[in-house]
């Protein structure tokens, strides 16, 4: 469907050209809306860092721009954060002035615990406002936070502790899932025990839903410590940092079990995020913006914590699920109750709602007149979901494409510049700042409509990662070396003759499960660690709700006499224990052999096509074609994937 409303009225092309003509002038103008303690020497220093650095020489503080600036401007009484938790039945609101008090007191506690500029602080918290306070307090001190998603297991937490070496961990006593509580202490204790680097302190918020036994000498009680500084009215000034200093490290799946520490700087990040709030999301200060994600993911960092606050809007910290807390009308209730202007979530959340309430019968129960737009990202937005949302919500439904690495959209439909015609299946066009191109494996541009590697011409715009934490070489190898002069997105797709992008698949082993980015390579490493497994392959198979689900195929060591089902159950548990429940790894299938090329490469792509019931061609280099039939037979027998439905 092409929606031609507003076609021709959009300022997008003019703004994109303005950026292209003079990128530095463009970003300098965007930066003027923010407070800087010291202006930049160069808007972009091409000689600095791996591929150049934004706002070199400038000094600033992100917390100042997200909180203090609005209080100083007389907007202290405006709501900054709304906490809405259908899972606990709690709601709280914090104005900008109250947020400042919370953040300052917490910063004072962290300072007491020895946190200084440049130190790392790991945050392991569920969707509670204290998670946002913690991010802001760390930023206030000029320190660097690393938030770890609650659905990861202790081992993943330990890997991150070792990589970023935090001085302090800020945690809560538990997360709450609809079916169970998730106590964090056993996870934290196990992670610290496994980690080679031991954090000096843990600051722990005891939630009334779950007690926490403080570890003497290691743990400090969050509530008591923060309260003491609130009472005392302790002031903690914002520490000036270089615009190029790191604000946070966010780990994301790479092609191995070792996650990549994406670094975000202070200056470029706030400039790009502020620009995106206006140009892409069309939000103004004082409006209510709701990103229904989790602070553990990049969407949560950018659009729950930082961007709405940097703009001076109100953000919602929602602790619940799209369905089951208590029903498929929760999203509509939140929109009505808080007057949400724009909702941002993953398509899978809408698929979950649609599955529960296919006709949208709960929608008319709520007044959703405040809602102007729905933004979807994190995975491909399938046409059925987009159409359903368009029809039921009667607002623009905007698919936009981005990555943890970029921190904001690479492509989108910039509502703030005037909506462009929608092409369903496309996240629309490159945002100003990104010169997106599609090239073949040899690095040559491909014609419009032809599938290829999607790359971004360097330099990347502000907010995109300048490097990986302590790993410049890995950064070059993973993103820059293959196509010199370009950033490799590892997404494949095409661009049509109007510049609309279509994102079709990953070119690496990353899969997308319920909007969560997971590495099949990391799962294979865990499965291969089982003593009875000789070799294995994990692929992502299509799933109507979650987009993709991981499925593991394993060949057992010869001589294993135990029932295969027993080993399959152990392998499922192993992945859950090592990576975490968020991996949603529940399908383990024992096979006699894995299909391979003559050079020994496992034919994962062909296996995936068979599982998804797609057309596939016999690879010319296959070693033994009969093995593919065996894989199809196992899938059918076990009722897995489309092969089973055929």
Q: Is the peptide bond before 471 cis (omega within 30 degrees of 0)?
A: no
Residue whose C-alpha is closest to residue 85's, from 129, 125, 124 = 129
CB 253, min distance to ligand AMP, A: 8
The secondary structure of 66-131, three-state, reads: HHHHHHHHHHCCCEEEEEEECCCCEEEEEEHHHHHHHHHHHHHHHHHCCCCCCCEEEEECCCCHHH
Neighbouring residues of 291: CB distance < 8 A, sequence distance ≥ 6:
299, 300, 302, 303, 304, 308, 315, 316, 343, 344, 345
- Say how many residues touch ligand AMP, by CB under 6 A: 20
Residue 252 contact partner, candidates ligand COA, ligand AMP, none, CB within 5 to 8 A by sort of partner: ligand AMP
Question: CA-CA distance, 563 to 569, in Å (whole number)?
Answer: 10
Three-state DSSP class for 605? helix
Q: List the one residue from 268, 378, 414, 461 that touches ligand COA (CB under 6 A).
A: 378
Shortest Cβ 303–ligand AMP spacing (Å): 12
Q: Site mask, ligand COA, residues 347-376, x = CB under 6 A?
A: -xx--x------------------------
When asked if residue 255 is in the footprint of ligand AMP (CB under 6 A), the reply is no
The label of the residue with tokens 């196992």 reads 634
Please count the residues of this chain forming the interface with ligand COA, following the rule CB under 6 A. Answer: 25
Q: Is 645 exposed, middle or buried (0-12, 13-18, 19+ CB in 10 A)?
A: exposed
Backbone φ and ψ for 47, nearest 5 degrees, come out as: -85, -15
Give one DSSP letter per residue of 476-501, joined into a string.
IIIIISSSTTEEEEEEEEEE-TTS-E
Q: Which of 503, 522, 539, 628 binds ligand AMP (CB under 6 A)?
A: 503
Show the binding pattern over residues 461-490: x = contacts ligand AMP (CB under 6 A), - = does not.
Answer: ----------------------------x-
Give the residue, chosen from 70, 101, 145, 321, that forms a contact with ligand COA under the rule CB under 6 A. 321
- Can residue 304 be called a binding residue for ligand AMP (CB under 6 A)? no
Question: Are 440 and 448 contacting, i.e. CB atoms less than 8 angstroms apart?
Answer: no
| CA proximity to 199, closest of 207, 186, 188 | 188
Residues 406-465 that bind ligand AMP (CB under 6 A): 427
Binding mask 515-554 for ligand COA (x = CB under 6 A): xx--------------------------------------
Q: Does 491 bind ligand AMP (CB under 6 A)?
A: yes
Cross-strand partners of 374:
343, 397
Closest contact distance (angstroms) between CB of 117 and ligand COA is 30
State the Cα–Cα distance between residues 196 and 219, nearest whole angstrom.
19
Residue 105 contact among ligand AMP, ligand COA, none, beta carbon within 5 to 8 Å by kind: none
Cβ atoms of 534 and 623 closer than 8 Å: no
**Cβ 264 to ligand COA, closest distance in Å?**
17
Name the segment binding ligand COA (CB under 6 A); options: 49-57, 291-299, 458-466, 495-503: 291-299
Q: Which does 399 bind (CB under 5 to 8 A by kind): ligand AMP, ligand COA, none?
A: ligand AMP
Determine the Cα–Cα distance for residues 395 and 416; give it in Å rounded to an integer: 14
Interface segment toward ligand COA; rule CB under 6 A; list 192-200, 205-213, 510-518, 604-612: 510-518
Among 99, 314, 512, 606, the residue binding ligand AMP under the rule CB under 6 A is 512
Q: In this chain, which of 55, 133, 297, 318 binds ligand COA, going by CB under 6 A? A: 297
Say if CB 269 and CB 301 are below 8 A apart: no
Q: Looking at residues 374 to 403 of the shown chain, list those that interact with ligand AMP (rule: CB under 6 A).
A: 377-381, 399-403
Cβ proximity to ligand COA: between 104 and 491 the closer is 491
Q: How far is the CB of 515 from ligand COA (least distance, A)?
A: 3
- DSSP E strands: which ranges in 526-622? 533-543, 547-556, 587-590
Query: Judged by CB, which is closer to ligand AMP: 236, or 518?
Result: 518
One residue of 107, 283, 584, 588 binding ligand COA per CB under 6 A: 584
400 binds, among ligand COA, ligand AMP, none (CB under 5 to 8 A by kind): ligand AMP
Q: How far apart are CA 611 and CA 606, in angstroms?
A: 9
3-state secondary structure of 607: helix
Q: Which is nearer to ligand COA, 516 or 530 (CB)?
A: 516
Chain positions contacting ligand COA, by CB under 6 A: 126, 150-151, 175, 177, 182, 293, 297, 299, 321-323, 345-346, 348-349, 352, 377-378, 514-516, 581-582, 584
Chain positions contacting ligand AMP, by CB under 6 A: 252, 298, 377-381, 399-404, 427, 489, 491, 503, 506, 512, 517
């Amino acid at each position: 469907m092409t929606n031609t409303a507003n076609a021709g009225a959009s300022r997008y092309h003019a703004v994109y050209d303005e950026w292209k003509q003079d990128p530095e002038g463009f970003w300098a103008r965007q930066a003027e809306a923010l407070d800087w303690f010291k202006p930049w020497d160069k808007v972009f220093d091409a000689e600095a860092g791996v591929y150049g650095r934004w706002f070199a020489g400038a000094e600033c503080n992100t917390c100042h721009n997200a909180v203090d600036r609005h209080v100083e401007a007389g907007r202290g009484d405006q709501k900054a954060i709304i906490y809405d938790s259908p899972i606990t039945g709690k709601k709280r609101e914090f104005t900008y002035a109250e947020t400042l008090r919370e953040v300052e007191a917490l910063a004072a506690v962290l300072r007491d615990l020895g946190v200084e500029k440049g130190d790392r602080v790991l945050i392991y918290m569920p969707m509670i406002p204290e998670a946002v306070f913690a991010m802001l307090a760390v930023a206030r001190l000029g320190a660097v936070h690393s938030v770890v998603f609650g659905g990861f297991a202790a081992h993943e937490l330990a890997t991150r502790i070792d990589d970023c070496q935090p001085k302090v961990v800020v945690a809560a006593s538990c997360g709450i899932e609809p079916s169970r509580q998730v106590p964090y202490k056993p996870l934290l204790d196990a992670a610290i025990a496994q980690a080679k680097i031991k954090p000096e302190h843990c600051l722990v918020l005891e939630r009334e839903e779950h007690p926490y036994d403080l570890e003497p000498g290691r743990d400090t009680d969050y509530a008591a410590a923060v309260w003491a500084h609130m009472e005392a009215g302790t002031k903690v000034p914002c520490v000036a940092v270089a615009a190029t200093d790191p604000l946070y490290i966010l780990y994301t799946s790479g092609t191995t079990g070792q996650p990549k520490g994406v670094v975000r700087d202070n200056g470029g990040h706030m400039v790009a995020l502020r620009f995106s709030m206006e140009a892409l999301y069309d939000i103004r200060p004082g409006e209510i913006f709701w990103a229904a994600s989790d602070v553990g993911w990049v969407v949560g960092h950018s659009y729950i914590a930082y961007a709405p606050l940097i703009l001076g809007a109100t953000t919602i910290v929602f602790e619940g699920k799209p369905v089951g807390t208590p029903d498929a009308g929760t999203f509509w209730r939140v929109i009505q109750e808080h007057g949400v202007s724009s909702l941002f979530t993953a398509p899978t959340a809408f698929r979950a709602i649609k599955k529960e309430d296919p006709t949208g019968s709960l929608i008319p129960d709520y007044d959703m007149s405040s809602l102007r737009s729905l933004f979807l990202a994190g995975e491909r937005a399938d046409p059925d979901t987009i159409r359903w949302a368009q029809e039921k919500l009667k607002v623009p439904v905007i698919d936009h494409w981005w990555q943890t690495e970029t921190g904001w959209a690479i492509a989108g439909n910039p509502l703030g510049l005037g909506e462009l015609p929608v092409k369903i299946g496309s996240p629309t066009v490159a945002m100003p700042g990104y010169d997106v191109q599609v090239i073949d494996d040899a690095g040559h541009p491909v014609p419009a409509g032809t599938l290829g590697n999607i790359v971004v011409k360097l330099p990347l715009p502000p907010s995109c990662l300048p490097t990986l934490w302590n790993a410049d070489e890995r950064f070059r190898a993973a993103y820059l070396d293959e196509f010199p002069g370009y950033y490799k997105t590892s997404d494949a797709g095409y661009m049509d003759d109007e510049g609309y992008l279509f994102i079709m698949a990953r070119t690496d082993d990353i899969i997308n499960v319920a909007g969560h980015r997971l590495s099949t390579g990391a799962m294979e490493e865990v499965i291969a660690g089982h003593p009875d497994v000789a070799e294995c392959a994990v692929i992502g198979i299509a799933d109507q709700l979650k987009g993709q689900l991981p499925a593991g195929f394993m060949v057992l060591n010869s001589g294993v006499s135990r029932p295969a089902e027993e080993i399959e159950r152990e392998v499922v548990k192993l992945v859950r224990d090592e990576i975490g429940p968020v991996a949603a790894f529940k399908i383990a299938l024992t096979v006699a052999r894995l299909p391979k090329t003559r050079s020994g490469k496992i034919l994962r792509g062909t296996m995936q096509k068979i599982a998804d019931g797609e057309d596939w061609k016999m690879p010319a280099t296959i070693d033994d074609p009969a093995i593919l039939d065996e894989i199809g037979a196992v899938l059918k027998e076990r009722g897995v994937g489309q092969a089973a439905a055929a």
